[in-house]
Amino acid sequence: MMSEKILVTGPFGQIGSELVPELQKRYGKENVVALGHRHIPEDYDGVLETGDVRNPEEMSKLFEKYEFTQVYHLASLLSAVGEDKPELAWDVNLNGLRTFLDICKDRDVKLFWASSIAVFGPTSPLDNTPQHTVLEPTSIYGITKVAGELLCQYYHEIYGLDVRGLRYPGLISWKQEAGGGTTDYAVEIFYEAIKKGEYSCFVKEDTKLPMMYMDDAVKGTLMIMDADPEDIKVRMSYNHGALSFTVKELEEAIRKHIPELKVHYEPDKRQKTADSWPDSIDDSAARKDWGWEHKYDLPTMTEEMIKNLRKKFGMD
Ligand code: AKB
């Protein structure tokens, strides 16, 4: 196998914190470079560079130094923080992506880009939202993801760049807390249930969104990057689905393990974004083209989350 050199941007975020160790296991610690920006964990064990994804000169120098063969470009502002800082969201999400599209188009590099269910909006079908449908998002985050997906497709068509992407749903994980997203409640509820037995939820109890356990998200990310280029028929981003539940259903699943759990519902401005996103998505294109399948359902994901968080907080 050709030896790989891998760059991961956003390596200490929710996805990166779990993807980087998997990449290190597969390709060797010395072959995975984490591009840190501001918050770098003191105990990070691996090759580290610091820099700004919006700076093409800085990023080009890194490519000269390491001759990367794969890039996982995860660095992004999420939906809730994007509404507070729309200019920064535009700058980081799109100028960051442009940097890598431009550098990679002239090299033999496979580029992964993280998109989101935020590409959909109130005019997209709500249930089982198809791969190809109306994309009229109302959040700035969603707008950057649609524009980014179109750019990816453009660079593939015009320059032959091997770029691949996933529309992640809300991701649920215990190693690293989510931050700045609309789906963060689905992670926070576990932390608060375990620490305090009580959670105040910022969306209504009947809010239903597509979700996925992080192990499945990491598996899907590696699967799409392993796939034969011929099998990647979508060069925008693939719908990436697993679960779909209301907050009330999640609350009930957690209560099976923590019977005393109390949840209050105090919707805030994030409700509007949640309401504009699909209830569930159709990911049959990913299943057909490159064999995507998920493992975790609501009960097994809930059990894993609670078991691991109890361990993490020394409560088992
Ligand atoms: C968010 O809520 O902003 C993210 C996402 C679904 O892209 N978790």
Separation of 170 CA from ligand 1 center, angstroms? 5
Separation of 183 CA from ligand 1 center, angstroms? 6
Q: What pLDDT is stored for residue 102 in this prediction?
A: 98
Domains and CATH numbers, the chain: 6-169+214-239 (3.40.50.720), 171-210+242-277+295-312 (3.90.25)
Residue type, 264: H
Written as one string, the DSSP assignment of 216-280 is HHHHHHHHHHHS-GGG---SS-EE---EEEEHHHHHHHHHTT-TT-EEEE---THHHHHHHS-SS
Q: Among 44, 66, 141, 154, which one carries the catalytic annotation?
A: 141
State pLDDT tens for residues 217-263.
999 999 999 999 999 999 999 999 999 999 999 999 999 999 999 99
1 SS3 class: coil
Separation of 117 CA from ligand 1 center, angstroms? 7
CB of 131 shorter than 6 A to ligand 1:
no
- Record the pTM: 0.97
Is there a catalytic annotation at residue 159?
no
Confidence of residue 2 (pLDDT cuts 50, 70, 90): low
Q: What pLDDT is stored for residue 179 in this prediction?
A: 86
Could you identify the residue written with the tokens 């980014």? Answer: 148
Strands 208-213 and 243-246: antiparallel
Closest ligand 1 atom to the C-alpha of 82?
3
Closest ligand 1 atom to the C-alpha of 79?
3
- Copy the structure tokens of residue 225: 């990057």
Q: What pLDDT is stored for residue 39 in this prediction?
A: 85
- Percent of the chain surpassing pLDDT 70: 99
CB of 116 shorter than 6 A to ligand 1:
yes
Closest ligand 1 atom to the C-alpha of 145?
7
Confidence of residue 139 (pLDDT cuts 50, 70, 90): very high
First to last CA, the chain: 42
CA-based torsion, 157, 158, 159, 164: positive or negative: negative
Mean pLDDT of 262-283: 98
